[in-house]
Amino acid sequence: MVMFDLAGTTVDDSVEGVPLVAVAMRDAFKKHGYNIHPETVNKYRGLEKKDAIRCVADEVSQTDSDTSSVVDVEVIFKDFKDCLNKHLSTIKSEIPGTSDVFLKLKTCGVKIAVGSGFPHGVVESIVSTLQWADLVDCLCSAEKAGHGRPHPAMIHSAMNYFGITDPRTVVKVGDTRADVEEGKNAGCWTVAVLTGTQSLGYITESNPDFIINSVKEFPDLLLNGKLQ
């Protein structure tokens, strides 16, 4: 089984050059008078989105001397979901080659799962928009699994779905340190891709088993026997 992340790994989530998560989070915080930079959000990409908001809110509270009250994470999260849904219709493209990768893996008998820190309804919407219903065997989200990355709940959920017990027959592919840490916590192989917003140096610190430029290179990595 291979568990693929969505935004930045298999999905082009840019909105006018800025990642969807950063746009939605920026708009949600701005609604309450807080200005945040996309780079702040990028550090926490891969996390369950309420956890990411909590991390950003902590930074806001520490750096904004004009902050007169504690940032309400629950309120920001609600507004974040509204902003996310507002911009979701602009997300219509996959990372180049993703569908071909899915098809090649399925032809070889590999089970395909996707997992995301997005709310589950957003995961379903993205898979539907990109017409992956016949390619993806299992849809996972932190919301549905009950825990966000780096907790391995989403990977465990997919393994249970397929009846897989050996984590060394599982690969996690993602574009963030949180993805790599999730895979390591599940005991499976970890592959980092460089199509997201986190730098090579930053991702390397999480010590993934392999680093590739994009998902397009993944089948060669798997089918050449390096993940055994």
Query: CA-based angle 87:92:95, to the nearest 5?
Result: 115
What DSSP line would sit under 81-95, residue for residue? HHHHHHHGGG--EES
Q: Domain 2-13+91-223: which topology?
A: Rossmann fold (3.40.50)
- Span of 5-19, 158-172, 176-190, 202-216 with lowest mean pLDDT: 5-19
Mean pLDDT score, 139-156: 95
Amino acid at 5: D
Amino acid at 111: K
> Could you count the other beta carbons within 10 Å of the beta carbon of residue 154?
31
How buried is residue 10: exposed, middle or buried, by Cβ count under 10 Å (0-12/13-18/19+)?
buried
Confidence of residue 33 (pLDDT cuts 50, 70, 90): confident
| C-alpha to C-alpha distance for 70 and 53, rounded to whole angstroms | 13
For residue 124, give both structure tokens.
Answer: 């379903």
Q: Report residue 127: phi and psi, to 5°.
A: -60, -40
Mean pLDDT score, 36-61: 88
User: Which is it for the CA torsion 111, 155, 4, 133, positive or negative?
Assistant: positive
pLDDT at 163: 98
Query: 153: part of which helix (H) or strand (E)?
Result: helix 153-162
pLDDT 10s digits, 76-95: 999 999 999 998 888 999 99
| C-alpha to C-alpha distance for 146 and 50, rounded to whole angstroms | 12
- Whether omega for the bond prior to residue 150 falls within 30 degrees of 0, making it cis, is yes
pLDDT at 69: 54
Confidence of residue 6 (pLDDT cuts 50, 70, 90): very high
Domain range annotation of the chain? 2-13+91-223, 14-90
| C-alpha to C-alpha distance for 228 and 224, rounded to whole angstroms | 10
Mean pLDDT of the chain: 92
Q: Domain 14-90: which topology?
A: DNA polymerase; domain 1 (1.10.150)
pLDDT at 61: 77
β-pair partners for 11:
7, 94
| C-alpha to C-alpha distance for 26 and 45, rounded to whole angstroms | 13
Query: 192: part of which helix (H) or strand (E)?
Result: strand 189-193
